[in-house]
């Protein structure tokens, strides 16, 4: 898409949204995400995203509101806002984006790694970059986080930002932007990110006990998300981030052997029988437990809704993933990402993922005089 066409469509969308409430909220959101997702990764894109952010502010009336649903639910940004660094570090988004893109070009697996890191950060102490702090008893050292990767990407971006505008941009905002850019780079939608988070000064391994786990029941998962102000739709949507990335055999091999006495194979009965031989070939019973398998078979490098189609066909990899389809509490939501069901309109995964990410990235944020702006992301000042 040319810059001229983008500008034309942006102007049209802006005129349509000039009067709050005069247009369908979801329609404008679709337009916004369409424009951003078709934007090149360059400075023109940065300007476009800022303009789109301003457009959304006009639509919803104040900096504290972002992205609506048909039911008029509006995500509240807790002290973060668009254009936070407009005067103090105007190139922050392009610097982070180019850094993530550079690492992604040499190692595409860094995209799901950054997305997972952001999730693990926000669910412990809020989105305050406490996951980045080094130390023997920090979050980074805890068992659920030992396989996290991508820390070098954040450090690289921080070094570049310190050179451009020292002491201004928080590590928490860098990680939030990097997660968004990871989705864009894997052909998912982009979205304007409200900024202004500050970095936490506490990071304890013991605080990671309540991170959602692959062995959790849906009831437990729903409660863990509710504790963070997220609902069941946010749960299904955010777990849909598994459309990119992989999992080690050790985390699901129990489903393949001696799982159930109700099947002749002894495997989890929710696994598609035609898919089982493929999984067993990848993860032999006494094989290498560290071998990695795509979480979204056939589409592990593309951010799309095929993850939910795999769940529908009994091809979820983690037990907790497949339960999203088999448990009545979440099944209808998962079904709606595969199309219209029983008179309910289907959901657009990209649109809903952006909305849920904005909600998640504002969990327990520190703003104003709270926390600090770290000089390096791996240690408090």
- 24 assigned binding-site residue: no
- 173 assigned binding-site residue: no
Q: How far is Cα 245 from Cα 109, in angstroms, rounded to an integer?
A: 7
- 304 assigned binding-site residue: yes
- 139 assigned binding-site residue: yes
Is 120 assigned a catalytic role? Answer: yes
Q: Label each residue of the chain as H, E or C.
A: CCHHHHHHHHHHHHHHCCCCCCCCHHHHHHHHHHHHHCCCCCHHHHHHHHHHHHHHHHHHCCCCEEEECCCCCEEECCCCECCCCCCCCCCHHHHHHHHHHHHHHHCCCHHHHHHHHHHHHHCCCCCCCHHHCCCCCCHHHCHHHCCCCCHHHHHHHHHHHHHHCCCCCCHHHHHHHHHHHHHHHCCCCCCCCCECCEECCCCCHHHHHHCCCCCCCHHHHHHHHHCCCCCHHHHHHHHHHHHCCEEEHHHCHHHCCCCCCCCCCCCCCCCCCCCHHHHHHHCCCCCCCCCEEECCCCCCCCCCCHHHHHHHCCCCCCHHHHHHHHCHHHHHHHHHCCCCECCECCCCHHHHHHHHHHHHCCCCCECCCCCECCCECCECC
- 126 assigned binding-site residue: yes
- 130 assigned binding-site residue: yes
- 243 assigned binding-site residue: yes
Task: Report the candidate in 265, 123, 259, 139 with the shortest Cα–Cα distance to residue 202.
Answer: 139
- 369 assigned binding-site residue: no
Half-sphere exposure for 10 (CA within 13 Å, toward CB)? 24
- 121 assigned binding-site residue: yes
Contact in structure between 94 and 49 (CB atoms under 8 Å)? no
**What are the structure tokens assigned to 1, written together?**
């898409």
Residues annotated as catalytic are: 120
**Which residues contribute to the annotated binding site for heme b?**
242
As annotated, the binding site for substrate includes 212
Mark the binding-site residues, compressed into ranges. 121, 124, 126, 128, 130, 139, 212, 242-243, 296, 304
**Residues of the binding site for Ca(2+):** 121, 124, 126, 128, 130, 139, 243, 296, 304
């Amino acid at each position: 898409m040319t810059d001229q066409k983008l500008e034309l469509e942006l102007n049209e969308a802006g005129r349509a949204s000039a009067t709050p409430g005069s247009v369908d909220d979801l329609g404008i959101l679709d337009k916004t995400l369409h424009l951003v997702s078709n934007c090149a990764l360059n400075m023109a894109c940065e300007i476009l995203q800022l303009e789109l952010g301003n457009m959304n502010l006009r639509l919803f009336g104040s900096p504290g509101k972002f992205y609506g649903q048909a039911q008029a639910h509006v995500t509240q940004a807790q002290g973060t806002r668009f254009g936070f660094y407009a005067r103090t570090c105007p190139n922050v988004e392009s610097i982070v984006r180019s850094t993530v893109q550079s690492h992604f070009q040499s190692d595409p697996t860094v995209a799901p790694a950054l997305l997972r890191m952001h999730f693990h950060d926000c669910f412990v102490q809020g989105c305050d970059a406490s996951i980045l702090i080094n130390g023997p008893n920090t979050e980074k050292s805890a068992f659920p986080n030992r396989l996290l990767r991508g820390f070098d990407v954040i450090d690289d971006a921080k070094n570049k930002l310190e050179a451009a505008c020292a002491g201004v941009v928080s590590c928490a905002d860098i990680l939030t932007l990097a997660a968004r850019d990871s989705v864009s780079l894997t052909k998912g939608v982009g979205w304007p990110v409200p900024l202004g988070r500050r970095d936490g000064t506490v990071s304890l391994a013991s605080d990671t006990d309540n991170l959602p786990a692959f062995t959790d029941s849906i009831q437990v998962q729903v409660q863990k998300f509710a504790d963070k102000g997220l609902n069941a739709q946010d749960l299904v949507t955010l777990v849909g981030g598994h459309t990119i990335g992989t999992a080690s055999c050790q985390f699901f091999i129990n489903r393949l052997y001696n799982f159930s006495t109700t099947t002749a194979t002894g495997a989890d009965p929710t696994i598609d029988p035609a898919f089982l031989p493929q999984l067993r070939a990848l993860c032999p019973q006494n094989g290498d437990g560290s071998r990695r398998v795509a979480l979204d078979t056939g589409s592990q490098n593309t951010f799309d809704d095929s993850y939910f189609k795999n769940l529908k066909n009994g091809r979820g990899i983690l037990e907790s993933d497949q339960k999203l389809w088999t448990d009545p509490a979440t099944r209808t939501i998962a079904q709606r990402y595969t199309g219209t069901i029983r008179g309910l309109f289907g959901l657009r995964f990209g649109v809903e993922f952006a909305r849920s990410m904005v909600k998640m990235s504002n969990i327990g944020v520190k703003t104003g005089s709270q926390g600090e702006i770290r000089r390096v992301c791996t240690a408090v000042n």
